Amino acid sequence: MRSPIAPRALRLAALALAALAPAAPAALRAQPAKPAPPRATEVYAIRYGTLRAFPVAGLVAGADTARRADIALMVWLIRRPDGRNVLVDAGFYREKFMARWKPADYRRPSEAVRAVGLRPEDVTDVVVTHVHWDHLDGADLFPNARLWIQRDEYAHHVDSTGRARDRTIDSLDADMLARLQRAGRVRLVEGDGREILPGLTVHTGGKHTFASQYAAVRTAAGTVVVASDNAYLYENLATRTPIAQTLDSASNRRAQERMLRLAGSPRLVVPGHDPAVFVRFPKPGNGVARIQ
C-alpha cells in the first residue's frame, strides 16, 4: 500500500499546474469600463500641444509684428447624455507637420482624449470647422467617427479624385477626407444655422476659409460657442478685431459679434488657440478645461 501524499506536496503540485495553465483568452480578460454618459451635455477644451513664440500679427489683424506668444493647440469635446462623444476638430499628427512646426508638449489628439476617460474608438462624431492641417489632419485617428463639414468647404477644396483644389488644404488631408467620404463617413452640412444633432448647431460666416464653421452647444450653463479659428484669441473678441487670416474681415467681425449674442454669456465663447482658456477654466486640469 502506497503512503498517502503529504498535504504540503499536494499544494505544491496544484501551484505548479496553475503556473502551466494557459492564460485566459484576451476576450475574457477584464476590459476597461467606458465612462458613463453625463446627465447633461458637457463641453471640454483638450490641449494636445503648444506652438512657441507664434507671431501675434498672424492672429490679430493689425497687431505689432514684434509680438510673440505661445499658443495652445486644442480640440474640443462635447459629451452628450445620449452617449455620443463629439469632437470639434481633430488636431494633427502626420510627420510632415510635426517636422515643420515642432510643437512642444505634444501628444496625439487620439491620446489627449484619454485625459477625459475616452478611447479614440469612443468618439462618435467630428465637427470639422475648416480644412487647415491643424484642425483636420487627425480625423482618421478616430475610427468610428463620422465627420461633419460644410458642403461648400468640401467642394471648394477637394475634387472627386481626392486631389486638393486649393492650397488651403494639404494634399494628404484632401486625400484622407475623400477616402472617408467614399467610406460613407462624411456628412456634408448645407449652410448656416444647421442643427446637426439635438442641441448642437453649426454656423458659418467667419470666413477663415471658404466656408469655415463654428459650433454652438446648448448646456445647463447656457450656450457654449466653440469658435475654433474664426476667433483665435480672447483679444479678437474683447477688442472686436477680426482675425488676421480671413477672406473677409467684415464678415469675420460680424461672425464674432454673432458668437457673443449666441452664447449664454461672453465667457462661454471659446477661441481657437488661446492658452488663457485653461486659466479661465482651470478644472479638471492636466490640459483639460471644462467650459461651464
**pLDDT tens digit string along 102-154?**
999 999 999 999 999 999 999 999 999 999 999 999 999 999 999 999 999 99
Specify if 244 maps to a domain. Answer: yes
Place of cell 485653461: 278
How many domains are there within the chain?
1
- pLDDT band (50, 70, 90) for residue 230: very high
Specify if 188 maps to a domain. Answer: yes
Dihedral of CA atoms 138, 141, 144, 148 in degrees, nearest 10, equals: 0
Specify if 184 maps to a domain. Answer: yes
- pLDDT band (50, 70, 90) for residue 38: confident
Specify if 15 maps to a domain. Answer: no
Find, among 130, 43, 150, 34, the residue nearest to 90 by Cα: 130
Q: d(Cα 212, Cα 153) in Å, to the nearest integer?
A: 7
The pairing of strands 125-127 and 288-290 is unpaired
Q: Which helix (DSSP H) or strand (DSSP E) does residue 253 occupy?
A: helix 249-262
- pLDDT confidence of residue 8: 54
What is the average pLDDT across 87-101?
98
Specify if 60 maps to a domain. Answer: yes
Q: Which helix (DSSP H) or strand (DSSP E) does residue 210 occupy?
A: none
Specify if 5 maps to a domain. Answer: no
SS3 138: helix
- pLDDT confidence of residue 196: 98
| Residue ranges making up the domain that contains 52 | 42-290
- pLDDT confidence of residue 10: 44
Specify if 28 maps to a domain. Answer: no
Q: Is residue 118 within 8 Å of 77, Cβ to Cβ?
A: yes
Place of cell 477625459: 116
Longest CA–CA separation in the chain, Å: 103
Instruction: List the single range of 36-45, 177-186, 259-268 with lowest mean pLDDT.
Output: 36-45
Q: What is the DSSP letter of 104?
A: B
pLDDT at 28 over 60: no
pLDDT at 257 over 90: yes
The set of long-range contacts for 155-161, using a CB threshold of 8 Å and a minimum separation of 24, is 156/210, 156/211, 157/131, 157/209, 157/210, 158/131
- pLDDT band (50, 70, 90) for residue 37: confident
Which amino acid is it at 268? Answer: L
C-alpha distances out from residue 38 to 62, 79, 162, 287, Å: 42, 7, 38, 20
Q: Model pTM greater than 0.75?
A: yes
Burial state string for 21-31 with b = 16 or more CB within 10 A and e = fewer than 16: eeeeeeeeeee
Q: What CATH code is carried by the domain that includes residue 265?
A: 3.60.15.10
Rounded to 5 degrees, φ, ψ at 34 are -70, 145
Specify if 111 maps to a domain. Answer: yes
DSSP conformation letters of 72-90: EEEEEEEE-TTS-EEEE--
Find, among 86, 88, 56, the residue nearest to 70 by Cα: 56
- Per the prediction, the chain carries an average pLDDT of 91
Find, among 156, 77, 66, the residue nearest to 117 by Cα: 77
- pLDDT confidence of residue 264: 86
